[in-house]
């Protein structure tokens, strides 16, 4: 394991940056954060490279980063404490990680912050509450935020994609047996592989539905307000894809 470390003191508080490199072999990565960005990239190297930037205010307490290996799991998580009765005291931890192909990214979770993941192995789950999610991966199980947009390119989706306040744009190669893609306030744009297999059910309340697929029939197109729907069978239709929003358009496109 290699290690580099710097610490700075500013007028607004402390900033600590350190870099570590681990020989982990074939493990499954789990990362839990509270406040801060998460960026993960897959690469062809042999070691897991980790860059951590911690910051906290003058009245706050230093956030702690814990790293543990438990069997096949390599777990990274943060702990935040109150400083002078101020919740978190403005503390934040940003992660930048390079993972080798032997590492499966299993679960990435945050509360306040962006999640950005590209080119990693494994069939992963990504969740945050306040912040956008951007993925470019071979496989994903569940992708969820509450306040933020979702932009994802997924070879195979085995779970659901959802937000409440934000738009969704997804490129899909294939899906599992039953998949839902939903938002409340925002549009949805789906780019489906030309040989996509699914029975598709699309619903919106205030917005329009359009599609490149002749197999998907749109109903209620003459209404400006009120429910609109589209259904159709793509390929053998053996899987089910449900797509819905309340306020926003829905586009189902080839590609």
Per-position DSSP letters for 159-209, written without gaps between them: S-EE-SBS-EEEEEEEE-SEEEEE-SBS-EEEEE-TT--EEEEEEEEES-E
**Dist. CA 106–CA 84, nearest whole Å:** 36
Looking at the predicted structure, is the pLDDT value of residue 42 above 80? yes
What count of other Cβ atoms lies within 10 Å of the Cβ of residue 11? 5
**Dist. CA 97–CA 72, nearest whole Å:** 18
Q: What is the phi/psi pair of residue 88, to 5°?
A: 70, -20
Per-residue model confidence (pLDDT) at position 91 = 86
Domain boundaries, the chain: 1-127, 132-255
Query: Is the CB of residue 181 less than 8 Å from the CB of residue 160?
Result: yes
> SS3 of 32, please?
strand
pLDDT band at 226; cut points 50, 70, 90: low
**Which residues, 6+ apart, have CB-to-CB distance to 224 below 8 Å?**
none
**Dist. CA 194–CA 200, nearest whole Å:** 14
Q: State mean pLDDT over 48-71.
A: 89
User: Considering the entire predicted model, what is its pTM?
Assistant: 0.91
Query: Is the CB of residue 36 less than 8 Å from the CB of residue 16?
Result: no
Sign for the CA dihedral angle at 189, 241, 158, 246 comes to: positive
The pair of three-digit structure tokens given for residue 199, joined into one six-digit string: 């029975």
Residues 77-95: tens digit of each pLDDT: 998 765 544 444 578 999 9
**Dist. CA 210–CA 225, nearest whole Å:** 15
Query: What does the angle CA 14 – CA 19 – CA 21 come to, to the nearest 5 degrees?
Result: 160
Percent of the chain with pLDDT over 70: 89
Q: Which residue has the higher pLDDT, 32 or 221?
A: 32
Average pLDDT of the chain to the nearest whole number: 90
Whole-angstrom CA distances from 105 to 9, 29, 69 are 34, 5, 14
Residues β-bridged to residue 2: 21
**Dist. CA 219–CA 79, nearest whole Å:** 50
Best mean pLDDT range from 2-16, 34-48, 207-221: 34-48
**Dist. CA 41–CA 99, nearest whole Å:** 6
């Amino acid at each position: 394991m290699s290690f580099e470390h710097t610490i700075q003191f500013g007028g607004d508080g402390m900033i600590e940056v350190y870099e570590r490199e681990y020989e982990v072999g074939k493990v499954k990565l789990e990362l839990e954060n509270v406040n801060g960005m998460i960026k993960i990239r897959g690469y062809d190297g042999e070691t897991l490279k980790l860059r951590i930037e911690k910051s906290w205010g003058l009245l706050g307490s230093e956030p702690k980063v814990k790293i543990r290996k438990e069997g096949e799991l390599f777990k990274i998580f943060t702990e935040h404490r109150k400083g002078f009765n101020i919740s978190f005291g403005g503390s934040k931890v940003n992660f930048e990680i390079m993972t080798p192909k032997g590492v499966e990214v299993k679960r990435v979770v945050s509360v306040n912050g962006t999640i950005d993941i590209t080119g990693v192995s494994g069939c992963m789950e990504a969740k945050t509450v306040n912040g956008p999610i951007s993925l470019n991966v071979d496989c994903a199980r569940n992708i969820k935020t509450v306040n933020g947009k979702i932009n994802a390119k997924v070879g195979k989706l085995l779970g659901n994609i959802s937000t409440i306040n934000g738009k969704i744009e997804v490129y899909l190669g294939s899906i599992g047996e039953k998949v839902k893609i939903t938002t409340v306030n925002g549009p949805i744009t789906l780019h489906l592989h030309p040989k996509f297999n699914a029975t598709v059910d699309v619903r919106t309340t205030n917005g329009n539905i359009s599609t490149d697929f002749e197999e998907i029939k749109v109903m209620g197109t003459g209404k400006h307000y009120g429910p609109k729907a589209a259904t159709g069978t793509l390929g053998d239709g053996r899987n089910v894809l449900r797509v819905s929003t309340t306020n926003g358009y829905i586009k189902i496109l080839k590609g």
